Amino acid sequence: MPSSTTHTNAPLDAKQIRLLTLAGSASVGVALTLIALKVWAWRATGSVAMLSSLADSVLDLLASLVTLFAVRVSIVPADREHRFGHGKSEGIAGVVQAVIVSGSAAYVCLQAIERLIAPSPVESPATGYFVMACSMVLTIALVAFQRHVVKRTGSLAIAADSVHYRADILTTLAVLAAVYLSSEWGLHGFDPLFALVVVGLILWSVTEIVRDALKMLLDRELPDDDRHRIEALALAHAEVRGVHDLRTRSSGATQFIQFHIELDPSMELSRAHAVCNAVDREVRDAYPGADVLIHADPHGLAEPRDPF
């Protein structure tokens, strides 16, 4: 008789939960600090590029708050109403972030066009240099920490948050260039032009955020390399004669993996169950915390199969 074995996804361990929570809180803290600094710098310099960076930081704060909320929801263990957990909240957060960040791009674009029509000099450049240098240091430190957290947890929400902060590093360089060219060389038109560069960077970050969010929300398969690896792990067992109907997806930091293995038709049910458990352990060792479902079929059984 066909047999199947399943193991529910293991919840994130305490260290991973602490990392996710700390990353979300750090993002909000950095955004608040940058907003305060950039308000001061914008009032001192009058730079539209600085204003664009300030607008970007305000939107970063909103996006980071969404990230923090999504992370707190996604780490809630599966329950009676949500048997597959709450991981897709991270995908929803990614879409919300994209909408928020696109709003900042539209605002900055309008401000830059107005300043292109009527250029004006940048004042108090020293304040601008100081604030953007502080912004660079804080942003680089945050991105490095976020990269560490994503590597340890696989969190899409933190990865999406990191995308627009990485773009902020380039934004900071653009603002520094705008302040320098306007104050030192009198090239005031570069201030709004670099603001438009910021718009391009913002929109670039949106495409990455949306792409990754949709992959999760639409249950996109794991990469082909992972699928081939899963099949190889199953076929490595001496009693497994074939693998078919492999289906995979991700939800938050959890991968869901299910497939059929083909066994000797005369094998006893208890032995088939033992083989399923052995293959399950191999897959879960390769993908810790994954939710694995394995169904055993008699080898040679004619039945409909996925064409993929």
232 has a pLDDT exceeding 90: yes
Q: What confidence score (pLDDT) does residue 9 get?
A: 44
**In this structure, which amino acid lies at residue 145?**
F
pLDDT of residue 283: 95
What residue ranges define each of the domains in the chain, with the CATH number in brackets?
A: 14-217 (1.20.1510.10), 221-298 (3.30.70.1350)
Confidence at 78, pLDDT banded by 50, 70, 90 = low
CA Rg value for the chain: 25
Instruction: Give pLDDT tens digits for 101-145.
Output: 777 677 777 767 877 777 767 777 888 888 888 988 999 999 999
**What is the model's pLDDT at position 276?**
95
Q: What are the φ/ψ torsions at residue 245 (nearest 5 degrees)?
A: 55, 45
Please state the pTM of the whole predicted model: 0.58
The better pLDDT of the pair 37, 154 is held by 37
The first and second tokens of residue 233, run together, are 């792990």
Is a pLDDT exceeding 80 seen at residue 277? yes
> Sign (positive/negative) of CA torsion 236, 240, 244, 246?
negative
Average pLDDT, the chain: 81
Among 182, 230, 184, 212, which Cα is nearest to 88's? 212
Query: How is residue 4 annotated by DSSP?
Result: E
User: pLDDT at residue 85 above 50?
Assistant: yes
The gap from C-alpha 294 to its chain's centroid, in whole angstroms, comes to: 29
Q: At what angle do helices 89-117 and 190-217 cross, to 10 degrees?
A: 160
Length of the chain: 308
- Of 4-8, 161-165, 251-255, 267-271, the one with minimum mean pLDDT is 4-8
Question: Looking at residues 177-181, what average pLDDT do you find?
Answer: 80
pLDDT at 83: 63
What's the maximum distance between 2 C-alpha atoms anywhere in the chain? 86
Which residues are bridge partners to 233 per DSSP? none
pLDDT band at 6; cut points 50, 70, 90: very low
Q: What is the pLDDT of residue 140?
A: 93
